[in-house]
Chain A
């Protein structure tokens, strides 16, 4: 099932993304590798940023339903999709709108 993402939720995803545009590619590649061992400031920033998505997209991006699974998403694809979000933010709709989401496991 495909359905249009609510406008403001779309903005939410976009805003989260632009907050870390230079480093977002790392987000879903490695969100759980922090340890009591040393972490860079940048990694900590990304961990916090990505963890905030969990309320809708599940822990570490493993959605249990209703939202896309982000875990393991190809980095280039993810970045491209978020950039498409921005381009479409003012005119979303239509079959090929990037702000569509597909339901995944769990429903």
Chain B
């Protein structure tokens, strides 16, 4: 094991340092890595990356150096972000600084983007230098596939037709478009083929938009173009909620993959049909995030990363671990799942760095709440265990979904969010 502790290598070291805020902040850290025998670099500051970084530091008693690379200055939660569209939550309520996490756990932080990864040399190249790692964790979330819809790839196109599938500016944009939509207008949402981030998310979004329209533009309609043959998560609950809360408002069309979009007229084309929208939300098909592509660890369906579920090590490169939405697991791509995988991965890395075996039977939980209006939610919850024969995480018996949405579960969902934010950000 290479135990070098090289710092960011800058082309013109000290001069450049003063002009690069992110690197300057890094070099100014009082935390010393001089005694740390290993460095783990984590790419991505979402649910998976923050959880991995924190638990690596916590479970090693600060014994290893952990460095997170994240280009965005703040964390914006995807969970609860559909409520911004409904109007009961503001994006600022879901936006957090990384400062407490960094300070409480002595996590090194580089606000920069990854430009290349060299697995043979164990190096990550950034815009402003490069970093050596002993272990690399890639947690970049999703990337969108625009092969079939290249017209939606530009920032200008997304200004008009946002995906809003990464919480932030596009979420706010979509909300503003809904506010500006005339009563009697048509909102069209396109759902990509599974697997995609947050299986119930699109259907929750339909509820949130319907909730807003019902109260503000009751003559408006919603058309749901789903590439899948049926609602992919909590089907019975969503079907019932739509019928009971938003009767006559939602036109759900399964097996309706969008094949073309006219940006100017906001018209979407499926194989047999076309629909003109007043507000159009196309959620594109998805794959593993760009850093995973750069590392060459996307080896399933040309979209996702195969991993060993005991360690989350890539099946391509043993020193590169992949967690969160980028992996191929057959499990829901959720925030709780991402943190659960992060903890198994962190624990296994500490074992491996100490030449010990990881837990051979990991067990973890996943919970996922969906809001049907401003204050009522429903959940799906499962426990997953490692199956040594199939080498997969499989659901245990006894999990399940709510009987019905309720205000109590709406409160539970808000408390869930506060606890998971606290878990990954403090």
Contact = CB atoms under 8 A, between A and B. Distances in A.
Contacts of A48: 343-344, 347, 359, 362-364
A62 to B, nearest CB: 8
B125 interface: no
Contacts of B339: 54-55
A46 B66 CA distance: 23
A65 B423 CA distance: 12
Contact of B420 (A9, A12, A54, A107): A54
Contacts of B381: 8-9, 11-12
Nearest to B400: A8
B295 interface: no
Contacts of A53: 365
A32 B54 CA distance: 12
Contacts of B402: 6-8
B350 A15 contact: no
Interface stretch (B67-75, B139-147, B407-415): B407-415
Given A6-B402, A8-B381, A11-B381, A56 B61 contact: no
A12 B59 contact: no
Given A6-B412, A36-B60, A48-B363, A54 B356 contact: no
- Highest count of chain B CB atoms <10 Å: which of A4, A52, A59: A52
B418 interface: yes
A38 B55 CA distance: 16
Size category, A interface = 35 or more
A56 B335 CA distance: 12
B156 to A, nearest CB: 38
A102 interface: no
Given A9-B381, A12-B399, A48-B362, A64 B418 contact: yes
A107 B420 CA distance: 16
Contacts of A66: 411-412, 414-416, 418-419
B372 to A, nearest CB: 15
A64 B360 CA distance: 31
B2 interface: no
Interface string B350-364: 110110111111111
B363 A41 contact: no
B350 A36 contact: yes
Interface string A1-20: 00110111101101110011
Contacts of B365: 12, 15-16, 52-53, 55
Interface string B309-345: 0000000000000000000000000011001100110
Given A8-B400, A44-B347, A66-B416, A56 B426 contact: no
Interface string B37-71: 11000000000000000110011110110000000
B379 A9 contact: yes
Contact of B360 (A3, A15, A41): A41
A61 B354 CA distance: 27
A75 interface: no
B271 interface: no
A19 B383 contact: yes
22 contacts: A7-B400, A8-B379, A12-B381, A14-B398, A16-B365, A16-B383, A19-B385, A32-B58, A35-B59, A36-B60, A36-B63, A37-B63, A41-B357, A44-B351, A48-B362, A51-B343, A55-B420, A64-B419, A65-B418, A66-B411, A66-B412, A107-B415
A-B pairs, 5 with minimum CB distance? A66-B415, A36-B63, A52-B364, A15-B383, A34-B59
